[in-house]
Chains A and B, each alone.
Chain A
Amino acid sequence: MSRTDDDIIVCRCEDVTLGEIRRAIAEGATTMDEIRRITRAGMGPCQGRTCRQLIALELARKTGKPVAEVLPSTIRPPMKAVTMGSLAKIGEEDAE
């Protein structure tokens, strides 16, 4: 891939570009966790559902490892963003 795609937004939640992912890899990141910790990619509301694959591809390409090997980085609950107001009501009689 060329340098011009550096501006492509990989993680829409946190506004992280492919260029930033490449920079983290160039600075020595070799795992999905390291990239997440450096760039915040995958830490937003969707928790990396879209960008995980894209980052894994880039990482695999740069490290020469198979995608399956670089992919796993923890997906954290809750699976869907929920408001604190409704979480506070869990278990109450009049819960919605």
Chain B
Amino acid sequence: MRRTADAVVIGGGVTGASVAYNLLKLGMRDVVLCEKATFCNGSTGRCGAGVREQWGSKGNCLLAKASIDMFEQLADELNYPHDLEFKQKGYLMLAHTEKEWAQFQKNVQLQNSLGIKSRLCTPEEAREIVPALNTEGMLGATFNGRDGHANPFHVTRAYLTAAERMGADINYFTEVTGIEVSGGKVKAVVTKKGVIETPIVINAAGPWAKPVAEMVGVKLPLFTQRHQILVTEPVGWLLDPMVMSFSIGIYCQQTPHGSLIMGIGDPHEPKGYDIGHSWEFLRDMSRIITRLLPALKDVRVVRQWSGLYTVTPDAHPILGGVPGIDGYLQAVGFSGHGFMLAPAVGQIIAEMALGKVTFLDVRNLDVGRFERGEYNVEPSVV
């Protein structure tokens, strides 16, 4: 491990990997990444890996749209030997309540104004997109064909191996235990394998972002919460797009490999770091999904697991620096959608680290917004 660096990235999830790659791409030389376990140890290795432009806030829409532009080029750009399994078959968002339907109409208007080609669908049109769908009780849906998903392990590793080729020092099993600050400036990062002198440190520690921020005395308004998920055996073609409902709180997609991945957002889930799994989830998920997609009743579940969401009060990430600590940057609090934002976030954080103007204006996503009271809650989350 190197003892000096131009920047140290904390975290080997998709965010840290993208940040490290983008730092090198923009011309930084000496980039070190420290990961306490191995790549995809945190939320990234446990996520649904869906990517969508259909958001209810301008900030999330723009970050997601820019990221999808980048996902489309990623395999070529990173020159990675495996398939990233990036597939754009759309997201179909179902509306079952009046409130939800009204929100969707607003969302589509906003999305279209930002150049996102989402559209409203009648239940019949939704069934044309997903013939297996039971539309009973459905008021309508929205669809955007540019949404999709990718393989989170390969995307992360593609960024990491590209960064490594360009000269990054990627260290696994290297936990960061402290950050030295003096005179209001970052001086060094302390790890279990030694100290690295650096003027810049980037907190991309996912669910552990809060304890990492405390190393420089920053208190983040984040909490972590378990989200459970399962995968079925691979079966023949059943559906193209991700099917998602906010009022029911579920999502379900079929991967290129044929297996179906699905999960629930349980509003009663306690906060904390538990990533155990429950049979109640298997039962509830099966009940809900066999009602929406009855063909799934003969499909077998092969594996269940869970991971952590790291949630902010407005379900938007916290991006950028903190007044008074020169050289400390954070990309945290993705609130369940950090995989899909990672390409754009990586570039933005790298631009900030190099003192450049960011390609998207994210000044309103600083941590200070919560104290100023300048934030609006994203309505469209599971």
B304 touches A84 (CB 8 A): no
B304 touches A77 (CB 8 A): yes
For window 262-299 of chain B, which residues contact chain A by CB distance below 8 Å?
277, 279, 282-283, 285-287, 289-290, 296-299
Give min CB distance, A30 to chain B, whole Å. Answer: 8
Q: Is A1 an interface residue (CB 8 A)?
A: no
Give chain A residues whose Cβ lies under 8 Å from the Cβ of B282.
Answer: 78, 82, 87, 90
A84 touches B289 (CB 8 A): yes
Pick the interface stretch among B18-26, B38-46, B125-133, B365-373. Answer: B38-46
B302 touches A45 (CB 8 A): yes
B297 touches A85 (CB 8 A): yes
A88 touches B290 (CB 8 A): yes
Give chain A residues whose Cβ lies under 8 Å from the Cβ of B153.
Answer: 37-38
**Which secondary structure dominates chain A's binding surface?**
loop
A81 touches B297 (CB 8 A): no
B283 touches A81 (CB 8 A): no
**CB closest residue in chain B, given A39:** B82
**CB closest residue in chain A, given B287:** A88
Give chain A residues whose Cβ lies under 8 Å from the Cβ of B157.
Answer: 37-38
Give chain B residues whose Cβ lies under 8 Å from the Cβ of A77.
Answer: 277, 303-304
Give min CB distance, B167 to chain A, whole Å. Answer: 16
**Chain A interface size range:** 20 to 34
Give min CB distance, A19 to chain B, whole Å. Answer: 14
A81 touches B301 (CB 8 A): yes
B303 touches A84 (CB 8 A): no
User: B162-175 CB contact bits vs A (8 Å, 1 = yes)?
Assistant: 00000000001000
Give chain A residues whose Cβ lies under 8 Å from the Cβ of B101.
Answer: none
**CB closest residue in chain B, given A78:** B301
| Residue of B81, B232, B279, B300 touching A90 (CB-CB under 8 A) | B279
Give min CB distance, A46 to chain B, whole Å. Answer: 9
Give chain A residues whose Cβ lies under 8 Å from the Cβ of B277.
Answer: 76-77
B38 touches A84 (CB 8 A): no
Give chain A residues whose Cβ lies under 8 Å from the Cβ of B303.
Answer: 43, 47, 76-78
**CB closest residue in chain A, given B81:** A27
Give min CB distance, B291 to chain A, whole Å. Answer: 8
For window 26-51 of chain A, which residues contact chain B by CB distance below 8 Å?
27, 30-31, 33-34, 37-38, 40, 43-45, 47
B302 touches A81 (CB 8 A): yes
- Complex Cα distance, B187 from A47, in Å, reads 46
- Complex Cα distance, B153 from A81, in Å, reads 24
| Residue of B40, B161, B283, B305 touching A87 (CB-CB under 8 A) | B283
Q: Is B233 an interface residue (CB 8 A)?
A: yes
B304 touches A87 (CB 8 A): no
Give chain A residues whose Cβ lies under 8 Å from the Cβ of B298.
Answer: 83-85
A38 touches B82 (CB 8 A): yes
- Complex Cα distance, B42 from A33, in Å, reads 13
A85 touches B38 (CB 8 A): no
Give chain B residues whose Cβ lies under 8 Å from the Cβ of A38.
Answer: 82, 153-154, 157
**CB closest residue in chain A, given B82:** A38
Q: A33-B38, A38-B82 are in contact. Are A82 and B300 (CB under 8 A)?
A: yes
B300 touches A45 (CB 8 A): yes
- Complex Cα distance, B304 from A82, in Å, reads 12
B279 touches A85 (CB 8 A): no
Give chain B residues whose Cβ lies under 8 Å from the Cβ of A64.
Answer: none
| Residue of A34, A43, A76, A91 touching B283 (CB-CB under 8 A) | A91
> Footprint of B on A, CB under 8 Å?
27, 30-31, 33-34, 37-38, 40, 43-45, 47, 76-78, 81-85, 87-88, 90-91
Given contacts A37-B153, A47-B302, 10 further A-B contacts (CB under 8 A): A27-B81, A30-B38, A37-B40, A77-B304, A82-B282, A83-B299, A83-B300, A84-B286, A88-B283, A88-B286
Can you name 10 A-B pairs with beta carbons within 8 Å? A30-B38, A31-B38, A34-B38, A45-B300, A83-B297, A83-B301, A84-B285, A85-B297, A88-B286, A88-B290
> Footprint of A on B, CB under 8 Å?
38-40, 45, 81-82, 153-154, 157, 161, 172, 231-233, 257, 277, 279, 282-283, 285-287, 289-290, 296-305
